[in-house]
Amino acid sequence: MPQNTFSTNSVRLKYVKLGYQYLVNHILTFLLVPVMVGILIEILRLGPEEILTIWNSLHFDLIQILCSTFLIIFVSTVYFMSKPRSVYLVDYACYKPPVTCRVPFSTFMEHSRLILKDSPKSVDFQMRILERSGLGEETCLPPAIHYIPPNPTMEDARAEAETVIFSAIDSLMKKTGLKPKDIDILIVNCSLFSPTPSLSAMVINKYKLRSNIKSFNLSGMGCSAGLISIDLARDLLQVYPNSYALVVSTEIITPNYYKGNERAMLLPNCLFRMGGAAILLSNKRRERTRAKYRLVHVVRTHKGADDKAYKCVYEQEDPQGKVGINLSKDLMVIAGEALKSNITTIGPLVLPASEQLLFLFTLIGRKIFNPKWKPYIPDFKQAFEHFCIHAGGRAVIDELQKNLQLSAEHVEASRMTLHRFGNTSSSSLWYELSYIEAKGRMKKGDRIWQIAFGSGFKCNSAVWKCNRTIKTPVEGPWQDCIDRYPVFIPEVVKL
């Protein structure tokens, strides 16, 4: 009996909240409709002669009409000239590694035992991480890492960069019909591999891009660099009208495989895998009908002023002089704080009035009445239909699902991307978006929230709105496996 009462109360509370949300979000409609009906009824009561008398009583001066017209034209001109240009995502393409680069668990562990034969505890640590990682059997590593022991060279790293970047760009050009001479802006982001000449110069050389192209190469900015590149492209597209911006996001694994036995530095070996994406943005009005998405907001949060946040993802040498990425134990706590700061900024931009009022009332109540009141977590499901959470690891997805109170379906794209492709760094968001499209879930008007974390420490968000219902793509990284997903991912996979 108590259980039935609890269930009934929960249902009632749900409908009360739905009623509240509908009332607050449509408050203007509820206020204006009675006023408009009243005015219409009053007009209908008047006869034709009374209406004509009122019209004749109005005196229009020619000078006043000209001044009013000029003012309206002037204000309209200023408004449209100062209004930010719309930025459209025409299309994008993700790199799909060949099956020859596949690294099943058995292969990974066999290599670990041979490479770290003098450190069995490190091998056991990697096995425990892999068992709980959420990765599947089809993730890929570049050819140089398949050697025992790995002996990556600059030539190998360049070869991986060329394969990943050129394949993604070729696929994008094929999908969009884009020609190299059409590209006005080029942005390439890769955090850990920064050769000379730069990767952006490598792209310019390969595709013989124009000499007046605006090119940028971002490095050292971690897994959130993809959204930083989008933000930079957006700012440039506000300055240069009728332009195309090509953004390439990737992480080159070859030179960054850690060969030591420090546990905090072995973790990236277990999670990071090959991947990359090429994205075409434009501010051309004619692309509005063809483009898949329109960029609505980009919000960036940087916690680098705090020493712990700055060093929580840190490239360094171990006691034996081997270079690797050290992931701090405080990483999830710091990521949570960065997310809170980011949400505080993005919330007022995207949340409906009903959620903002609840948040405000709770905040006032905690300040004035009782500080122990539980803070209200806004329901971001009211603002977005789809969530693309950076597939940095199982713990990252779990934490965000819990903090944002998301359902399993909301984080499905992130979990399945981690399972199929691993942590592909800044490009993971685009594999997730591709998953949603491949499932046929993207409809016109849907809103998408991309959330990424990166060294420094940074939390960046991008909000997109779908321009048109996306047909299920016949090509892409999920082409040969989407029918198998979603798959059940156990808490622990015994190796």
Catalogue the active-site residues. Answer: 223, 302, 386, 390, 419, 423
Token representation of residue 134: 């959420």
Rounded (5°) CA angle 160-244-230? 65
Token representation of residue 65: 């009409």
From residue 327, alpha-carbon distances to 225, 267, 313, 482 in Å are 18, 7, 5, 32
CB 312 within 8 A of CB 327: yes
From residue 113, alpha-carbon distances to 101, 147, 264 in Å are 19, 13, 18
- With CA atoms as reference, report the closest residue to 203 among 156, 143, 245, 145: 245
Considering only CA atoms, give the Rg of the chain.
27
3-state SS class at 8 = helix
- What single string gives the DSSP state of each residue in 137-201? TT-B--GGGGSSS----HHHHHHHHHHHHHHHHHHHHHHH---GGG--EEEEE-SS---SS-HHH
Can you tell me the distance from the alpha carbon of 270 to that of 266, in angstroms, rounded to the nearest whole number?
7
Number of CB atoms found within 10 A of residue 471's CB: 9
- What single string gives the DSSP state of each residue in 297-325? EEEEEE-TTSHHHHHSEEEEE-TTS-EEE
Q: What sections of 177-286 are H helices per DSSP?
A: 199-207, 225-239, 263-271
Strand 458-466 versus strand 293-302 pairing type: antiparallel
Strand 323-327 versus strand 313-317 pairing type: antiparallel
CB 422 within 8 A of CB 271: yes
Can you tell me the distance from the alpha carbon of 27 to that of 39, in angstroms, rounded to the nearest whole number?
19
Can you tell me the distance from the alpha carbon of 462 to that of 148, in angstroms, rounded to the nearest whole number?
41
Residue indicated by tokens 């329109």:
294
Residues in the chain: 495
